[in-house]
Amino acid sequence: MSESGEDRTARLLLVAGAVAGIALAAFGVVRSGGGDTGAPADAIALVNGQALSRESFARFAAAIAAERRSTTLDAAERRRLLERMIDEELLLQRGIALGLDRYEPSARGAIVSALVASVTADAETAEPDEAALRAFYTQHQGRFGSGPRLAVDVAFIATAGRPEALARERAEMLARRLRAGEEFMGVRSELGDPLVAELPPGALDLDTLRDYLGPTAARAAAGLAIGQVSEPVRGSAGYFVLALRERSAGEPVPFESVREQVRAEFLRSRGETALRDYLAGLREEARIRVLDPELAAP
């Protein structure tokens, strides 16, 4: 029996969200201690006791309706979409039972990323007041005015989920195409992976580049000529390819002219603090034993 275009679209949307689904569902199991055998008020179905929410079904149905340029879906179509969600949940539960959330690199990374996002969300979204921003600007003025400042385009190739040699080859291909004159954002979109954190707009001091990219990539950026594309630079999570757009000598600038950059740095710093505090709490509660005597803390 052939599969309809709508079914194929539904299946593709579910597959595209599988890793994120594993992350969020596994995180939900951790929080709840397992699927609730009851039926929450917002549940549209239960799969092995795990609730599928009406909200998540509504988002899925809306995505399909938008794909079909339709405003409504009839009852038969909605039933078919719910069956697709049930299929996904069954695969999700089986994947967790098989340990994919712990041993499969992309699933493990998605879970960690989802938890980091949940921990830092409030700190990085609560709007700071003007006094807090000005105090942060005064404390970290070197980030916004002194020392050389570099405007850098950054592409990133992750090593998680792919062999090291393949990641390096992909980064080298990206660099070659940029040197051949292709447009940076187009090549990055085709070959690159999302950065953990996008650089703030405009020219940045070396301290800020180190915070976002790591020391090796920041040093590589500092050594580039304007318009030059770097060789692939290995960072902790993958390869960076950098292109220097402009370089300027640092000088003090008024708070008002860099307010948005100060705000972005303030929120990022607050998120890092929230994550650091959360990890410290987890370590206090955890039983950790390092078995390699050379690596054990004194």
User: Per the structure block, which two tokens stand in for 216?
Assistant: 């090796």
Which phi and psi angles does 241 have, rounded to 5°? -120, 125
Is the pLDDT score of 9 beyond 60?
Answer: no
| List of long-range contacts for 42-45, beta carbons under 8 Å, 24+ apart | 44/82, 45/82, 45/85, 45/86
In percent, the amount of the chain with pLDDT more than 90 equals 29
Return the DSSP state at 180.
Answer: T
Residue 6: pLDDT band (50, 70, 90) is very low
CB 134 within 8 A of CB 242: no
Lowest model confidence (mean pLDDT) among 66-70, 74-78, 79-83: 66-70
pLDDT value of residue 135: 93
User: Mean pLDDT across the stretch 180-200?
Assistant: 91
Is the pLDDT score of 235 beyond 70?
Answer: yes
CB 140 within 8 A of CB 265: yes
The whole-angstrom separation of Cα 201 and Cα 2 is 49
Burial of 182 from C-beta contacts in 10 A (0-12 / 13-18 / 19+): middle
Q: Supply angle C-alpha 193, 25, 77, rounded to 5.
A: 90
Please write the tens of the pLDDT for every residue from 80-121.
Answer: 888 888 888 888 888 888 888 888 877 887 888 888 888 998
In percent, the amount of the chain with pLDDT more than 70 equals 83
Q: Which CATH architecture has domain 147-248?
A: Roll (3.10)
Question: Which position has the token pair 């992976």?
Answer: 193
pLDDT value of residue 217: 92
Please write the tens of the pLDDT for every residue from 133-164.
Answer: 999 988 887 677 666 789 999 999 998 888 89
For the chain, domain boundaries: 5-118, 147-248
